[in-house]
Chains A and B, each alone.
Chain A
Amino acid sequence: MIMGKAKILVVDDDSGIGEMLKTLLEFYGYQVTVTEQPEETEKIIINKEIDLVMLDMLISGINGTDVCARLRKNEDTANIPVLMMSALHDAGEKCRLAGANDFIAKPFEMDELIEKIDKVLKP
């Protein structure tokens, strides 16, 4: 897979974050889809052949970790790389336990974000 062409799904209920990530990651050549509806995650992954999910930990109405765990249980999404994010800087352990490949605390350093995305995409 050629870098810059990878398809990323951002799941975050805060529109500000979603918009910012879309702008930022598209600048780096990724194809970005944003959703504020976590229940649509699987559908989007399958329909849009998503390569990586960026999943917020705290989404109104649902826990990001639950979404992650759900993905892992689903045959179709079990192997999708998941990078979880949260303003709670100490949530990494929880996320990894839920099946996330990696975790990044908000606010991000852009270099670190790109680095983590690359790493998760190319283990």
Chain B
Amino acid sequence: MDKTDGEISDASTLSTGASNFIINLVNTLQEPVLVLDNNHGILAGNLHFFTTFRMIGEEVVGKKLSALNSSGWANPELQENILSALSQNGNFSDFDFNYTFPGKEKQIFRVNGSYLPIKNQDCVLLSFKNKIDTNTMAGPGDFKYLESILEHAPAMICILRGPDFIFEIANENYYHLIGKREIIGKPVRVAIPEAEEQGFIKLLEEVKRSGKPFKGMELPIKLKINEVGERHSFLDFVYQPIFDLNGQVDGIFVHVIDVTEKVLVRKQIEENEAKLREIIDTVPAMIWITNELGESIYLNKNWYDYTGQNLKEAEGFGWVDVVHPKDQRYAEESFRKADKERSKFSASFRIKNYKGEYRWVIDSGRPKFSPEGEYEGMIGTVVDIHEEKLKEQKLANTQYQYSELIHSSTSLISTFKGENFIIEIANDAIIEAWGKGRDVIGKPLLEVLPEVVEQGLDKILKDVYTTGKPYRGYEMPLYLEKDGKLELFHFNFIYSPQKDVNGNIVGIVNVATEVTTQAVLNKTIRESESHFRQMADLMPTKVSNTNAAGEFIYFNQGWLDYTGLTVEQLKNEGWSKLIHENERKDFEARWKRSLQTGEYFEMELRCLNKSGNYKWHLSRAEPVKGENGNISMWINTNTEIQKLKEEEKRKGDFLKMVSHELKTPVTSIKGYVQLLLTMISKEESVASLTSLPLKPSLERIDHQIKRLTRLISEMLDLSRIEENKLELQKQVFCINKLVDETVQDIRFTNTQHHIEVIHNFKCRIEADKDRIGQVLINFITNAIKYSPDSKDIVVRIQKHTNNQVAVSVKDQGIGIDKKNHKNIFKRFYRIGGKKEETYSGFGIGLYLAKEIVERHSGSITVKSKKGKGSEFCFILNVASKK
């Protein structure tokens, strides 16, 4: 029977059949009902009765109504009515029953009494209706009322009598069940023919034979509802035997509840569940369900396939066995905690698969509640995440390695987050370089290193942060505070913007290297290089560099100054085209050979300067070899040797002139001597010698020898002066007298020129008389020599300032350009020019004259214009009077 219908008290004093019938009956009623036997003993009461009157069924059943320990039950009207009802066909009128509850509360019930026709028992059924509801109550209180109660009972009820099971009564619901067929007075097999073929008659016969009730649960049945249609139903039903006075089964009380809907719903659910399970079994995940005790009550096929466990092994907490020993505690605790708290959980651990390999899985579960809200356990899944986990581990490993790399790197690495440049990452190296501790992480950089602000680093950072352009610093000097003092460091570094996935700048990555030593070294090298470059630039020598192949890589300032070209022009065009064509081919050939052989290169050549003049240079190139012995470059120097060359030429010219000058008197002498010898050999008699021009010839020979001697003396003087060995034989003499004598001598050999001597001043000087005479001769012979057209020469002796005497020799000759006034006193110097070249001479006369005069603490001057004659003058101290 369906327990939800309510508690009933067993009417133990009745035969089983009667008592069951009564119990079934009263339990179907919706109002407080009490059943009494003919002795007023309480047979049964329904739940409504006991709750309404606050009684416990077990305590009151079997007792007499009047014995109930509560006022009101001994009510004479109640007793009378009960007696009346118990008398057969007794008339029982409804009456009001005033009941006082133990708590003095009073309530009026309308009591209806009915005689209950149970075969061998005279019973009365009392129903109590709350007075308020009495007006709605229908029907008189007799059997018909009972019938009406039966009619309205939710169950399908009927009573079958006799061996043929003839329908005695049936309620409305029952009629409805069987399709409203006419059944009363008809045997079952006639009224409901389909019942027999479905075995119901047999069941009835069995109940009748055995006297034992039959309970059917959810039995399927097909009942006709009309001529053609039939209905499939599921029924819970009771065949309750009704015994006659002899204890024989006289009839059967049929109590049927249609549970079709419930069964169908359940079947639907079961079907759905089966489908669901099928689905679950086919999904890749492993699915588990636990009960409210946490025990596994279901695991899908995947679990068994995956783990190789069987049903038995996995049940309860068997699943824990396949968890990795190290993870077991964690896995079980994760589950138990969620189970206890009825919350979701997710845990990752290793389980052993059927091959015996441990693989990472993620186990997630959530609580499951019944529709009524009762906790039913957990449901969850287990997913293999081994590959992902490995990847994750790999990634974590990689991240760890990166992290290690960053932290163990000797490079200085840090990241600054946000516009405040919060130090997010800073490796040990950079923290050490900053001279700080790890506590700087999370602080703004500019607070940690306030000293960098005034050094402009904040501007650079802000610039990188706003523009997104990386900044590279090379050997940037930076003062950092260490132990309270600012120390200078140098860093190579790069600030790169750090961007998020959307490309927004979120910070700056700083990778730096401290290069203080290197920077200082580089600075030294640079300074040194600059030093040498400056030296190279300051050198008058032209210095250039080529690589091993001879391509120019450097020209010093000397080259630029000399040629007026730029480094680029020189590099591109080289300088060989500046070389004089007489030397160029030779230069190119020899330079090429040096590049091929690595031989030292040296030659003299003329090179064009920016004014368009060629100047002689000594060009050298020396190979520079690298560590491997190969030539790494050539250093080329071009030293201007124009002056040396000129000097050399002057020397050459001098020697030429010496030879010329010496040869001239020698030619004369040789001519006379040869003539005399020829004449002597022809005129064999000595007497004939008198006819020879002997005297004039010898005089001329003598003169030429004197000339030769003087030339030789000059050359000796030159070498003496060069070696600073010129000795002066000083004496005091009259300068006027020396001039007169000297001019006289010259007049003797030179008749062409007119030499006038003017004595404006007379004095004595202390000097080497011969040397001073030599100077005077030089002046006068020069005057004669360079005045081919004008024959007048004036020699003047006059007083000069500071007690000095000036002796000047003036001519009207070719004169000297002013630019040459200084040069004419230089050794071997002879004025160039077509006309000047025709004059013979050593080019040492004026040089000697100047040296001699200066050694007498005197001075020598020249006044001259080209084409306007010259005036040479020497000034000497007047001798002190003794």
**Which of the listed residues A27, A36, A60 has the most CB atoms from chain B within 10 Å of its own CB?**
A60
Determine if A3 is an interface residue (Cβ-Cβ < 8 Å): no
A75-104: CB near B (< 8 Å → 1, else 0) gives: 000000000001110000000000000000
Chain A residue numbers with a CB within 8 Å of B857 are none
Contact yes or no, B671 A21, CB < 8 A:
yes
Determine if B533 is an interface residue (Cβ-Cβ < 8 Å): no
The segment from B284-292, B658-666, B737-745 that touches chain A is B658-666
B residues 775-795 touching A (CB-CB < 8 Å): 785-786, 788-789
Within the assembled complex, what's the spacing in Å between the Cα atoms of A15 and B700? 10
Contact yes or no, A88 B668, CB < 8 A:
no
* A24-B675 in contact given A16-B700, A88-B656 (Cβ < 8 Å): yes
What's the interface size class on A, roughly? 20 to 34
Contact yes or no, A16 B697, CB < 8 A:
no
Determine if B88 is an interface residue (Cβ-Cβ < 8 Å): no
Determine if B704 is an interface residue (Cβ-Cβ < 8 Å): yes
Contact yes or no, A110 B675, CB < 8 A:
yes
Determine if A19 is an interface residue (Cβ-Cβ < 8 Å): yes
The segment from B108-116, B375-383, B798-806, B834-842 that touches chain A is B834-842
Contact yes or no, A20 B700, CB < 8 A:
yes
* A59-B666 in contact given A87-B660, A107-B671, A110-B671 (Cβ < 8 Å): no
Chain B residue numbers with a CB within 8 Å of A115 are none
Chain A residue numbers with a CB within 8 Å of B660 are 58, 86-88
Determine if B693 is an interface residue (Cβ-Cβ < 8 Å): yes
Chain A residue numbers with a CB within 8 Å of B671 are 17, 20-21, 23-24, 107-108, 110
Residue on B with the closest CB to A59? Answer: B838
Determine if A106 is an interface residue (Cβ-Cβ < 8 Å): yes
Contact yes or no, B659 A87, CB < 8 A:
yes
Shortest CB distance A39–B (Å): 9
Shortest CB distance A113–B (Å): 9
Determine if A14 is an interface residue (Cβ-Cβ < 8 Å): yes
Determine if B674 is an interface residue (Cβ-Cβ < 8 Å): yes
Shortest CB distance A50–B (Å): 21
Residue on A with the closest CB to B672? Answer: A20
Within the assembled complex, what's the spacing in Å between the Cα atoms of A16 and B788? 17
Determine if B752 is an interface residue (Cβ-Cβ < 8 Å): yes
Within the assembled complex, what's the spacing in Å between the Cα atoms of A56 and B664? 11
Shortest CB distance B840–A (Å): 6
Contact yes or no, B788 A23, CB < 8 A:
no
B residues 628-682 touching A (CB-CB < 8 Å): 656, 659-661, 663-672, 674-675, 678-679
Contact yes or no, A23 B838, CB < 8 A:
no
* A20-B838 in contact given A27-B679, A58-B660, A88-B660 (Cβ < 8 Å): no
Determine if B759 is an interface residue (Cβ-Cβ < 8 Å): no
Within the assembled complex, what's the spacing in Å between the Cα atoms of A61 and B838? 6
Within the assembled complex, what's the spacing in Å between the Cα atoms of A61 and B833? 11
Contact yes or no, A17 B668, CB < 8 A:
yes
Chain A residue numbers with a CB within 8 Å of B789 are 61
Determine if B386 is an interface residue (Cβ-Cβ < 8 Å): no
Shortest CB distance B570–A (Å): 40
* A20-B667 in contact given A58-B660, A88-B656 (Cβ < 8 Å): yes
Determine if B703 is an interface residue (Cβ-Cβ < 8 Å): yes
Shortest CB distance A57–B (Å): 9
Chain B residue numbers with a CB within 8 Å of A15 are 749
Within the assembled complex, what's the spacing in Å between the Cα atoms of A95 and B663? 19
Contact yes or no, B668 A20, CB < 8 A:
yes
Residue on A with the closest CB to B682? Answer: A27
Contact yes or no, A23 B678, CB < 8 A:
no
Chain A residue numbers with a CB within 8 Å of B665 are 16
* A58-B838 in contact given A16-B703, A27-B679, A87-B660 (Cβ < 8 Å): yes
Within the assembled complex, what's the spacing in Å between the Cα atoms of A57 and B63? 187
B418-448: CB near A (< 8 Å → 1, else 0) gives: 0000000000000000000000000000000
Contact yes or no, B663 A110, CB < 8 A:
no
Interface of B is mostly: helix
Chain B residue numbers with a CB within 8 Å of A87 are 659-661, 663-664, 667
Within the assembled complex, what's the spacing in Å between the Cα atoms of A106 and B664? 7
Within the assembled complex, what's the spacing in Å between the Cα atoms of A20 and B788? 22
When the two chains form the complex, which single residue of B656, B663, B693, B835 contacts A23, counting CB atoms closer than 8 Å? B693
Residue on A with the closest CB to B707? Answer: A16
Shortest CB distance A34–B (Å): 13
Chain B residue numbers with a CB within 8 Å of A106 are 663-664, 666-667
Within the assembled complex, what's the spacing in Å between the Cα atoms of A60 and B709? 22
A10-45: CB near B (< 8 Å → 1, else 0) gives: 000111110111011001000000001000000000
When the two chains form the complex, which single residue of B678, B703, B752 contacts A110, counting CB atoms closer than 8 Å? B678
Chain A residue numbers with a CB within 8 Å of B786 are 60
Shortest CB distance B664–A (Å): 5
Residue on B with the closest CB to A20? Answer: B671
Chain A residue numbers with a CB within 8 Å of B697 are 23
Shortest CB distance B838–A (Å): 5
Shortest CB distance A21–B (Å): 7
* A107-B667 in contact given A16-B703, A61-B838, A87-B660 (Cβ < 8 Å): yes
Within the assembled complex, what's the spacing in Å between the Cα atoms of A94 and B351? 119
Determine if A46 is an interface residue (Cβ-Cβ < 8 Å): no
* A16-B668 in contact given A23-B697, A60-B785 (Cβ < 8 Å): yes
Contact yes or no, B840 A19, CB < 8 A:
no
Shortest CB distance B839–A (Å): 5
Shortest CB distance A46–B (Å): 22
Residue on A with the closest CB to B697? Answer: A23
Residue on B with the closest CB to A36? Answer: B752
Residue on B with the closest CB to A19? Answer: B700
Contact yes or no, A14 B834, CB < 8 A:
no
* A108-B670 in contact given A14-B664, A20-B700 (Cβ < 8 Å): yes
Within the assembled complex, what's the spacing in Å between the Cα atoms of A36 and B749? 14
Chain A residue numbers with a CB within 8 Å of B667 are 17, 20, 87, 106-108
Within the assembled complex, what's the spacing in Å between the Cα atoms of A101 and B666? 25
Residue on A with the closest CB to B813? Answer: A61
Chain A residue numbers with a CB within 8 Å of B659 are 87-88
Within the assembled complex, what's the spacing in Å between the Cα atoms of A99 and B835? 20
Shortest CB distance B610–A (Å): 34
Chain B residue numbers with a CB within 8 Å of A107 are 663, 666-667, 669-671
Residue on A with the closest CB to B752? Answer: A36
Within the assembled complex, what's the spacing in Å between the Cα atoms of A13 and B661? 13
Contact yes or no, A60 B672, CB < 8 A:
no
Contact yes or no, B663 A60, CB < 8 A:
no
Chain A residue numbers with a CB within 8 Å of B656 are 88
A residues 49-80 touching B (CB-CB < 8 Å): 58-63
Shortest CB distance A109–B (Å): 8
Chain B residue numbers with a CB within 8 Å of A19 are 668, 700
Residue on A with the closest CB to B749? Answer: A15
B residues 670-724 touching A (CB-CB < 8 Å): 670-672, 674-675, 678-679, 693, 696-697, 700, 703-704, 707
Within the assembled complex, what's the spacing in Å between the Cα atoms of A59 and B669? 20
Chain A residue numbers with a CB within 8 Å of B679 are 27
Contact yes or no, A16 B839, CB < 8 A:
no
What 9 A-B pairs come out closest when comparing CB atoms? Answer: A87-B663, A107-B667, A61-B788, A20-B671, A106-B667, A16-B668, A87-B660, A110-B674, A107-B670
- Chain B residues with a Cβ under 8 A of chain A: 656, 659-661, 663-672, 674-675, 678-679, 693, 696-697, 700, 703-704, 707, 749, 752, 785-786, 788-789, 814, 834-835, 837-840
* 24 A-B pairs (CB sep. < 8 Å): A14-B668, A16-B668, A16-B703, A16-B707, A19-B668, A19-B700, A20-B668, A24-B672, A27-B675, A27-B679, A58-B838, A58-B840, A59-B838, A61-B814, A61-B838, A63-B837, A87-B660, A87-B661, A106-B663, A106-B666, A107-B663, A107-B667, A110-B674, A110-B678
Since A16-B700, A20-B668, A63-B834 are in contact, a sample of 15 more A-B pairs with Cβ atoms closer than 8 Å, ordered by chain A residue number, is: A14-B668, A16-B665, A16-B703, A17-B668, A20-B667, A21-B671, A23-B696, A23-B697, A24-B674, A60-B785, A62-B838, A88-B656, A106-B663, A106-B667, A107-B671
